[in-house]
Structure 1
Amino acid sequence: MSTSSVSKGCFVFKPDVQKKKKSSLGLEDYFNHGCEGAETNEMRFKLFHDLWNKTTTDTELLQEELNRQILDNLLDFTKKSYSTRQQSDWASQMRASEIPTAALMLGVNVPDHDMTFQSLSELLQQSVTPHVACVQAKECTALKHLMKRVLERLMDTVVAFDDEDEDEEAEQRSTQAHKNMQCSLSSLCEWYNTQTKKSDTPGKKRKSPSKDHHPPIVIIFKDLEAFNHRVLQDFILTCSRYIERLPLMFIFGIATSPSTIQHMLPHSVSSLLCIELFQSLSCTQHLATVIDKLILTTHFPFKLTGKVMQVLVSLFLYHDFSVRNFIKGFQLALLEHFHSQPLSVLCCKKKEALRNVTLLSHTDLERIRKLPSFTRYVEKQQTEEQAELLKNDAHLKEVCQQLIKDLDKYHKNYYPTLKCLHALTSSLPRYPLGKQIRELHLICLEKSVWETEDYHSALKLLKMLAKDELIASLQRCAEILHPVKSKKMKSALVQLEDMLAKFKQLDVLVPAAANEVVQCEEETLTSPVNNLQKKTDLFQLQKALLEMKESRRSKKQSPFEILRSEALEFFDYLVKSHLSPPECQTLHEVCYYSSSSTIRRHLNATPRISIQAALRSPYYYLLNENLKTEDGSVSNAAPDICLTYKLHLECGRLINLYDWLQAYATVVSAADGHDPDSDDFGKVDDVKHARFIRAVSELEFLGFIKSTKQKTDHVARLTWGGC
């Protein structure tokens, strides 16, 4: 391989044998360094560890549940293709050269695909065939590499090729490649025949479908778009020649579009595949389910504030669409909360939190007194009560227990009300409160939703809902409230069921009343209209129009409109009672994580800024006193890459390497203590030249400069700023 780098080099760093190994610290030891002076480190670590494991277990189960349908469909396709091949009319239903192929559309959330393919491989091995091989493009750059990976994973052994030259050109003729591959597939045929003969041994009972006489051979291509077109074409052409001897099946993992197969494979190759398309659940639907099961629930005590939630959702929407990475971000927030917040010992289920309150020390109680939410709570109390809360630790513990109960009630009422409001507004035109429940949740976390213009717009649209649409929305709300055990939600469910019963009674009671209302409206409207038909002057016309306007305003509401207004007033009362922001709740800091900057810094890294900071201030990274400067400049004793970086900041778009080298040699001579008046000062010798070339190569590797053909002995600068 050729390279345009300024230099090439290989550096070996031998380990120091005599250096003693540092004693490794456990997870709990690292965790204990988070809060200095905290007395609940062990308890917090145990709570964190339990919640971490619960998050991992629940998300894995949820992933399996969401992928169950598409995995079942793939299993059915595999079994159907296998059973069809076993029948006598195989040739009539499928040509002998066609390979059954499942095109699995997984979406662009590539980090989530590994878990899906792992589950698929396990299910195939359990219920269909033991012969399953998964391959990736990065390990199959050539045809022989692809075949080697497939054979090794099917045969569970090391496969060697008798190639004439390991470094033969990539443009070799496909016929020669086919000849090499035929020999390898012949060995696969022999191995497969040996395996099937073992299963045909008399006296053995078949316990599962995987022990059938001739199970299929399934090859899974995880990332089809990344495969080399020529390699994939040659592999398919080769496999098609052995389809009569080997029951091969392909599964293509596609992230973009089904048309990818047409772009990668010509018709002569794609015609050898019998393709069936399978569509997986979209990543946004997957995220909505994860948020509903992990965040919008009272079963998980840890919560996120609006800013942290917005950071995680933004990274999901604008970076990778990966639900797996979203869960990792959630777990990172969980770790940071328990690591940095001593009062997170109360972030657990209600019974355990009430017990932990009694175990709080005086230092922890002082931390509670300094919480902003608790300070606001104290300011609202009487003077005597304020003194007790600030001085009496026993009384404070009793009050904290009651506040923990109130916080638990708040969550039990908040989430059902949020879901009911989403059920009512998610189908409105233009989605004033958002189409996804996460959008509505973010609004409710940041402000009082009933004070926003979008909420009033949603109410106006709800007042125009038809009867069928309104009843369907109310029924969804009743289904949401039915499993909730909160007393207030049970009372709300009773009122909601009464309203639904009244709506159903309208079908019997409305016809007669509706006729009367219609007749009254016709009488009130026809009289002004009749006056308009007569010959009138401008004053009479204005008077008639005003009468029509007043009659429309004062018209009598129908029974349905009255019930609809009552239902909307009922939900408006629920929203104003239970959807206040969590910042309004006392002691919300114990379970809500709010440091969005920390999450953004860890998940949305800025490597260029970090590298520039290290090159500009090496003292803070190397902790060498010789590198410490007061004015922020780089010391002459700094590493070579820091010196060359500092010098390149003084240049323009194009940098003359000779001038750069002369400046570097001058700085290094000053660092070595040479006399500026001597003849050797600033002279370039072999050592300085080698050190300079290595530093420039490192800058090129980091992306600060690149080679250019505009001028001889020049390099182009790629970054600006950072001074």
Structure 2
Amino acid sequence: MDSTVSVSKGCFAFKRKKRNQGPTSARFSGQSWYKAYRNSLTSSEELLNVLENQVFDEIFGGLIDYISTCTSGCVKSHCEIPAATLLTGVNMPDHSSLFSTLSKKVSHSCSPHVATLWSRDCSSLKASVERMCSQFMLVPANEETGNVSSDDEEEGEAESQNKRKVQRWNFNLKYLVSWYNNFQDNPLPQKKKKATKILPKSSSAKPLVVIIPDFESFTTKVLQELILLLKVFQPKLPFVLVLGVATAVSAVHRVLPHHVSCCLRMKVFHSQPSLAYLNEVLEKVFFLPNRPFHLGGKTFKLLMDVFLFHDFSVMGFIQGFKYCMSQHFFDKDWTALSCMPDELPSAAKHLSKTDIESVRKLPSIRKHIESLSSRKDQIAWITDDNFVKGEIVKLLTELHKYIEAFFTSLKCLNLLTSDLPGAPLEKHLRSVYVLASTCDIVKSQELKEGMKLLSLSSSDELESKLKEVLCILHEAVKNGAQQLETVTKKIDGFLPRFKTLWMPSSPTKSMRSPLKSPSKSARSPLKSPVKSPLKSPLQSPSKILTNISSRSQFREKLREMKDVSSYLSPFEKLRTEVLTCLLEDLFTTFLVSPQTKPLHEVLFFDDVSSVKSYIIGSQRQALLRGLRDPHFYLDCNCCKLSDLGDILPTLPDVSIVYKLHLESGKLINMFDWMQSFLTITNPSTSFEEQTEVDPKLQARFTRAVAELQFLGFIKSSNRKTDHVTRLTWC
């Protein structure tokens, strides 16, 4: 067929298509487990966003106020550069997100002129000035690449025109002065889509905010020259510096000499430690009883260990939580039961026969069926699907009530034991949660030690703690935890008795309870007169142990003294009643491990083995596994191996080269290695040595060898030029 003859030749430009904003997981949108997953994930993200805004408002509130007011009262002829030093701490891996949020808040509330200078982009003074001026003049750093989204192309026509006017050779402070003056006279119009973020009109000029997130990583000479240069232009340009310091304020004085630091008017601000932020996230997002998804004790401990011993990243902890949530829901339709209590009947109604069979196979349901006393109910659980649906709703409703009481009791226990000497149950709620979720906390040695220390508490201390416990219980009862109403009333009845504890009593009662003062009794509650059934009440132990001639008599006397009943003061009696009520009526009843409850697999995810290899990655192990068995990661049929020793031509080139190098000794002949590679990748050729090699196959082999050398498996040999040295043996 003849080719089409073109009437005219030309170059035509077509606008590219808009990005598809539809959901990437459309194939899952109709499945019940995905709907439950999206609901749970959305509610968690909403709470996290609210908490993140609160935390950032606390951190950036004073800083933004300082930036807004620092340039208003200075005399322009000899003023220093205002500098806010933000101490972030050494364990702040969420550095970039912290300062990107700060940049957005400053641009929305203080000044539209914000520039962020990272040390990796500012190797010299020229690069630093160009980087700073380009951001002030609204020119993106990747202008040459042209990676601008379609939304940005549609939004600001005036802004894009301004970008085209500024050329790269104008990125200097002299041009910035003229640009800034023109900008103050003719500011850019605000975008319609961001009309809610219009800055308030003010007669004063907006400052030029320069944010340096990694102050310690900057080259000392570049930083000093930059500050001195900004000081020269300070009368014409109102610069404000924000220094992100990870260690201490002394780092600023160590890096900047006196003639440079005297150019700055510094004020120090402190950010919240990542551990304190994580505690807020746990208590206000993850430890809420009305959540349809919870982490089990083992999985939660894994995420906490990664946080405490690896990165101190709150964002990493949240991402790990989301991954565990996705593993819990993925491709399991019965996880649609992970919903709110009012949605349970509808979710149970839509369960299929396969889903009900999966529920029957859960370990907790097997134990529940075996524990049923009625043979009829056991048969119904196995044969009747409608009966199972009704029982699922009942069990999950009870489980939701249990979770509400469980977290309430957990907070009460943490409140009582967090300030005890030695902290037997540790000071944070997360530690108590791990202990209560993995074992029977009532029988644990930690709780026994805590109750012993509580039995030595004073009257005022116990009364104040009891009031705080009652506040938690009353709030839970108000939110619908009716199962806690009885124990709340019982504990509430102890408070009036504390008020009448030290009131004057009759002489007969005071003789039976001879206490000199309340404070003395509180300090030494165990020192009270002893009433022995064998001797008189006032006889001392030293007189009881007289006239003993043998060890057997001494042992018998000690056993008798062990059973001696002592007189207790009114406070000691009340303290014993309070602790007994808390232990038996609250902790023993409601602090039962979730693993003992039927259908706990629906609301709790505790499969550590399935997520540990993904959350705590071992680089060497993952690398070797990928080279030996690419199917594990690629999940394609062409790489599926019946035996790990097999070498298929469809495997990736680096995998073939790696398996061939395992068959060699310390030195590998490159020519023999390439011939083996060609034999596998191109088996149609003869078995004789190929003198003329296909350039494409040779390039593939060369690239695979280079990748293997980059990974550290081989290196070039100095002994023989046509050989390489093998570095690993496994």
- TM-score using structure 2 length: 0.79
Q: 1:338 aligns with which of 323, 329, 335?
A: 329
Q: 1:441 aligns with which of 428, 433, 446?
A: 433
Q: State whether structure 2 residue 131 is matched by structure 1 residue 142.
A: no
| Structure 2 residue aligned with 1:407 | 399
Q: After superposition, what is the alpha-carbon deviation per residue over 1:145-165, rounded to whole angstroms, capped at 9, x for unaligned?
A: 32222212222147999xxxx
Q: After superposition, what is the alpha-carbon deviation per residue over 1:256-296, rounded to whole angstroms, capped at 9, x for unaligned?
A: 44343244333433332222221111111111111112221
Point out the structure with the larger helix share: 1
Q: After superposition, what is the alpha-carbon deviation per residue over 1:555-602, rounded to whole angstroms, capped at 9, x for unaligned?
A: 311111111111111111211101111122122222222322232233
Q: Distance in 2 between matches of 1:373 and 1:619?
A: 34
Letter of the aligned partner of 1:667 in structure 2? S
Q: State whether structure 2 residue 606 is matched by structure 1 residue 606.
A: no
Q: 1:566 aligns with which of 548, 554, 577?
A: 577
Q: Distance in 2 between matches of 1:635 and 1:159?
A: 46
Of 488-497 and 563-572, the range deviating more from structure 2:
488-497
Q: State the Cα distance separating 1:420 from its structure 2 match.
A: 0.2
| Conservation of the 8 A alpha-carbon contact between 1:369 and 1:390 | yes
Q: State the Cα distance separating 1:717 from its structure 2 match.
A: 4.9
| Conservation of the 8 A alpha-carbon contact between 1:643 and 1:664 | no
Q: Distance in 2 between matches of 1:251 and 1:716?
A: 51
Q: State the Cα distance separating 1:718 from its structure 2 match.
A: 4.8
| Conservation of the 8 A alpha-carbon contact between 2:115 and 2:210 | yes
**Pair 221,588 (structure 1): closer, same or farther in 2 beyond 3 Å:** same
| Conservation of the 8 A alpha-carbon contact between 2:210 and 2:241 | yes
| Structure 2 residue aligned with 1:37 | none
Alignment of 1:33-112 (within 5 A): 42-85=31-74, 96=78, 98-108=80-90, 110-112=92-94
Q: Distance in 2 between matches of 1:694 and 1:394?
A: 62
| Structure 1 residue aligned with 2:181 | 193
| Conservation of the 8 A alpha-carbon contact between 1:306 and 1:442 | yes
| Structure 1 residue aligned with 2:374 | 382
**Pair 42,79 (structure 1): closer, same or farther in 2 beyond 3 Å:** same
Q: State whether structure 2 residue 475 is matched by structure 1 residue 496.
A: no
Q: State the Cα distance separating 1:75 from its structure 2 match.
A: 2.1
Q: State whether structure 2 residue 627 is matched by structure 1 residue 615.
A: yes
| Conservation of the 8 A alpha-carbon contact between 1:506 and 1:560 | yes
Of 506-515 and 493-502, the range deviating more from structure 2:
506-515
Q: State the Cα distance separating 1:361 from its structure 2 match.
A: 3.1
Q: 2:423 aligns with which of 431, 455, 468?
A: 431
| Structure 2 residue aligned with 1:418 | 410
Q: Distance in 2 between matches of 1:443 and 1:599?
A: 21
Of 112-121 and 281-290, the range deviating more from structure 2:
112-121
| Structure 2 residue aligned with 1:703 | 712
**Pair 345,616 (structure 1): closer, same or farther in 2 beyond 3 Å:** closer
The secondary structure found in structure 2 opposite 1:435 is: coil
Letter of the aligned partner of 2:439 in structure 1? K
**Pair 97,392 (structure 1): closer, same or farther in 2 beyond 3 Å:** same
Q: Distance in 2 between matches of 1:699 and 1:463?
A: 66
Q: State whether structure 2 residue 276 is matched by structure 1 residue 272.
A: no
Q: State whether structure 2 residue 220 is matched by structure 1 residue 229.
A: yes
**Pair 280,123 (structure 1): closer, same or farther in 2 beyond 3 Å:** same
Q: Distance in 2 between matches of 1:369 and 1:688?
A: 55
Q: Distance in 1 between matches of 2:558 and 2:640?
A: 89
RMSD over aligned Cα atoms: 4.0
Alignment of 1:259-658 (within 5 A): 259-379=250-370, 380-485=372-477, 486-509=481-504, 516-518=513-515, 521=529, 528=540, 550=561, 554-573=565-584, 574-617=586-629, 632-634=645-647, 640-649=653-662, 655-656=666-667
| Conservation of the 8 A alpha-carbon contact between 1:647 and 1:660 | no
Letter of the aligned partner of 1:517 in structure 2? P
In the alignment, structure 1 segments of 5+ residues that lack a partner are 1-22, 33-40, 162-179, 200-206
Q: Calculate percent identity across the aligned residue pairs.
A: 30
**Pair 78,618 (structure 1): closer, same or farther in 2 beyond 3 Å:** closer
| Structure 1 residue aligned with 2:115 | 133
**Pair 82,601 (structure 1): closer, same or farther in 2 beyond 3 Å:** same
Q: State the Cα distance separating 1:522 from its structure 2 match.
A: 10
Q: After superposition, what is the alpha-carbon deviation per residue over 1:376-409, rounded to whole angstroms, capped at 9, x for unaligned?
A: 2222230122223333333333222221221111
| Conservation of the 8 A alpha-carbon contact between 1:304 and 1:593 | yes
The secondary structure found in structure 1 opposite 2:85 is: strand
| Conservation of the 8 A alpha-carbon contact between 2:72 and 2:204 | no
Q: State the Cα distance separating 1:253 from its structure 2 match.
A: 1.9
- TM-score using structure 1 length: 0.79
| Conservation of the 8 A alpha-carbon contact between 2:299 and 2:607 | yes
Q: After superposition, what is the alpha-carbon deviation per residue over 1:493-544, rounded to whole angstroms, capped at 9, x for unaligned?
A: 2222221221232243589867842377499998649979xxx98769999x
The secondary structure found in structure 2 opposite 1:211 is: coil
Q: State the Cα distance separating 1:690 from its structure 2 match.
A: 5.9
How many residues are matched? 651
Q: State the Cα distance separating 1:74 from its structure 2 match.
A: 0.7
| Conservation of the 8 A alpha-carbon contact between 1:129 and 1:211 | no
Q: Distance in 1 between matches of 2:247 and 2:664?
A: 44
The secondary structure found in structure 2 opposite 1:605 is: coil
In the alignment, structure 2 segments of 5+ residues that lack a partner are 1-19, 144-167, 188-197, 517-527
| Conservation of the 8 A alpha-carbon contact between 1:100 and 1:274 | yes
Q: Distance in 1 between matches of 2:402 and 2:640?
A: 55
Q: After superposition, what is the alpha-carbon deviation per residue over 1:163-210, rounded to whole angstroms, capped at 9, x for unaligned?
A: xxxxxxxxxxxxxxxxx99981122222222333458xxxxxxx9656
| Structure 1 residue aligned with 2:5 | none
The secondary structure found in structure 1 opposite 2:514 is: helix
Q: Distance in 1 between matches of 2:141 and 2:382?
A: 75
Q: After superposition, what is the alpha-carbon deviation per residue over 1:640-666, rounded to whole angstroms, capped at 9, x for unaligned?
A: 5334423443567xx54xx43143145
| Conservation of the 8 A alpha-carbon contact between 2:670 and 2:724 | no
| Structure 2 residue aligned with 1:176 | none
**Pair 389,120 (structure 1): closer, same or farther in 2 beyond 3 Å:** same
| Structure 1 residue aligned with 2:519 | none
Q: State the Cα distance separating 1:410 from its structure 2 match.
A: 0.4
| Structure 2 residue aligned with 1:14 | none
**Pair 709,221 (structure 1): closer, same or farther in 2 beyond 3 Å:** farther
| Structure 2 residue aligned with 1:9 | none
| Conservation of the 8 A alpha-carbon contact between 2:86 and 2:244 | yes
| Conservation of the 8 A alpha-carbon contact between 1:640 and 1:692 | yes
| Conservation of the 8 A alpha-carbon contact between 1:307 and 1:594 | yes
Letter of the aligned partner of 2:42 in structure 1? N
| Conservation of the 8 A alpha-carbon contact between 1:666 and 1:683 | no
Q: State the Cα distance separating 1:689 from its structure 2 match.
A: 7.2
Q: State the Cα distance separating 1:225 from its structure 2 match.
A: 3.1
Q: State the Cα distance separating 1:633 from its structure 2 match.
A: 4.0
